[in-house]
Amino acid sequence: MGRVSGSMIPPAELAGLLGPAPAAGTVRPVVLDVRWRLVGPPGRADHDAHRIPGAVFVDLDTELSAGPARPGPGGRHPLPEPAALQEVLRRAGIRDDAGDQLVVAYDDLDGSVAARAWWLLRWAGVAPGRVRVLDGGFAGWQAARLPVAGTAAGAGAPEPEPLPPGDLVVRPGGMPVVDADGAAALARDGVLLDARAAARFRGETEPVDPRAGHVPGARSTPAAANTGPDGRWQPAGTLAERFRAAGVAPGVATGAYCGSGVNACALVLALEESGLTTPDAPAALYPGSWSEWSADPDRPAETGDRPWAARE
């Protein structure tokens, strides 16, 4: 079973749309470079050194989030203000009246940061058919020996003319969100997926947030398993099998959270890729995630990995 949602684009297909002789009638995609590191130099340094020609760098911490990064209300990566996000997306050249203009995001990790950009674009009102994530990320682009621009050795591909500023109007609400109370209700009455590593879910370690553990009733489905060793997203059937094992099924209210609302976006995307949710009825995101929940001493924290079915 291959792709279902159409939210992925292979490197070769993107290269064909960006090349010197794209197919007649095609509009050049907007390409967003959202590479990011939890520790170390900012992703901007990677972008300057080597990037897909024509890509525009967008920073997770300051442009795909409201910042500053901290636990508490809104979490470590709160959603950006609509006006601020609109300015960022217009700078990248995204237009409101271009139904055939694709917007493609890439990172160099497991696709989670690119999924955050995908989710925000959808939340902002960009039509599902226009938003893509580069399958395999920048590593996949390089592995395919496609042109690379930048200052690094071997990154000498010419840059295209910058796209003119866009006119996108951000209309929040294109993707469902829940707050802490809504997340608790999903864990109780539906399915709430936890995208963090299993050890963090069990409460064995907590390197970032105030307390260890998970939202009571949540089900562990680490986002890292969305992709294979080569960074490409798993086939739809593989994803569906994993999510069904966690209790996801058509008609069952489903949501996702993680540490700060980034990796959970990858679960929302993977659920669409699996076919268990659809663009018309996507899973909900808890943007504040564990960084918000764990900072509130009145919110309970569950530890261990007792199978969710044992609670039913």
Contact 250, 312 (CB under 8 A): no
Count CA within 13 A, CB hemisphere, residue 130.
24
Please name the residue that has the structure tokens 């997340």.
183
Helical ranges in 214-262 per DSSP H: 236-245
Distance separating alpha carbons of residues 102 and 278, to the nearest angstrom:
19
Please name the residue that has the structure tokens 């490409």.
232
Dihedral, 3, 175, 32, 102 alpha carbons, nearest 10: 60
Catalytic position from the list 105, 212, 258, 271:
258
265 is catalytic: no
**Of 250, 137, 267, whose CA–CA distance to 201 is shortest?**
267
Q: Supply the angle between the helices 236-245 and 263-274 in degrees, to the nearest 10.
A: 110
Residue 268 CA, distance from chain mean position? 8
Q: What single letter denotes the amino acid at residue 116?
A: R
CA dist 117 → 4, 46, 93, 243 (Å): 20, 18, 15, 22
Q: Are strands 103-106 and 30-33 parallel, antiparallel or unpaired?
A: parallel
Q: Which residues are catalytic?
A: 258
